[in-house]
Amino acid sequence: MAASLRPLFLAIIPLLMISSLISSSEGAIGFYWGQNPHAGNLTEICLNGTGIYEYVAIAFLNFEGSKTVLSIDDHCNPSIPDKCASLGPMIDFCKGQGIKVFLSLGGRPDLSPDDAQKVADDIWNKFLNNSAGHGPLNATVDGIDFRIQSESNQSLDVLAQALSAYSTPDRKVYLSAAPLCQIPDYYLDTAIKTGVFDYVWVQFFGDPSCEYSPESPSPLIRSWIAWSCYLDKYNTTLFLGLTGDSDDDGYIPCVPLVSEILLFVEWFPKYGGIMMLQGKYYCLLLNHSSEKIRSYVNSDVMAYGRKSMNKFQAI
């Protein structure tokens, strides 16, 4: 780790220790599913991940302009009657294991404010509203994820606010966003600034300015600090968005993820956990590493204080 960062680390860690003691919270682990035919059956993943995973984002409900269409591997083809309904039992099983299920928005949106409200109403009626029937998925999801990385950024803030407005004391509609690491994110910045997102899982890979490399974790650390400050005034939690594909730039093998990166990021009050954003494999399942990572995510604050201080003082 770059020696020039030592003063920053030594200055910030005591402050983070104090804030962690005041507002200590357990981290969570989630993953995306639906765009990799080799990822496995969702029911089996949720079964094997019971007590490990807390979130799954099913990808995608794709925008085509102001319209949306389901595109989920070979599990869901809207042109085939009842094809998407096969996902219903999988979704219900995951929810039954205590895992929150999101439907992720992707594609190429082109929305006016009126379009955004209509899309929100349609999403509510088809995917979120228990009283409206089971919809195309033969199940309802807990929330909606925004993973928009192309076309227009217009009216996504209106869409987020319209979806959030469906929350009631009896029925919470969860919202998450998956921006790229550059601040501000071109597509999601305005939406994030509405303050309605419960979770923001930033993509800390695929960009040298924010990704881990074996030579130095410094770009990721600097970007994590920047995002923590950026989200400070919003009632949201920040997730470490990682790739599970070892061929991707910024891929973090499980050992340095546990022994280096988590030692630092877990101290931040905004830290919510880890979200695996893409990949042929999930690092959290590979070689049975999930239990080890979970122990780091939820470990005792003071124990990590001693470890972290020793590590950064040695830089």
Domains in the chain, ordered, with CATH?
25-296 (3.20.20.80)
Give the H/E segment covering residue 66.
Answer: none
What residues contact 166, with CB distance under 8 A and at least 6 apart? Answer: 120, 124, 128, 129, 173
pLDDT at 17: 42
pLDDT at 300: 40
Q: What are phi and psi of 199, to 5 degrees?
A: -135, 140
Closest CA to 2 of 202, 182, 213: 213
In the three-class reduction of DSSP (H, G, I as helix; E, B as strand; rest coil), residue 143 is classed as: strand
First to last CA, the chain: 7
Q: Are 141 and 58 in contact (CB under 8 A)?
A: yes
Closest CA to 276 of 290, 263, 287: 290
- In the block, tokens 């995002």 appear at 227
User: How confident is the prediction for the chain on average, in pLDDT?
Assistant: 83
Output the CA torsion 211→260→31→248 (10° steps).
40
Whole-model pTM? 0.84
Residues with pLDDT less than 50, the chain: 1-25, 281-282, 285-290, 298-315
Q: Are 177 and 124 in contact (CB under 8 A)?
A: no
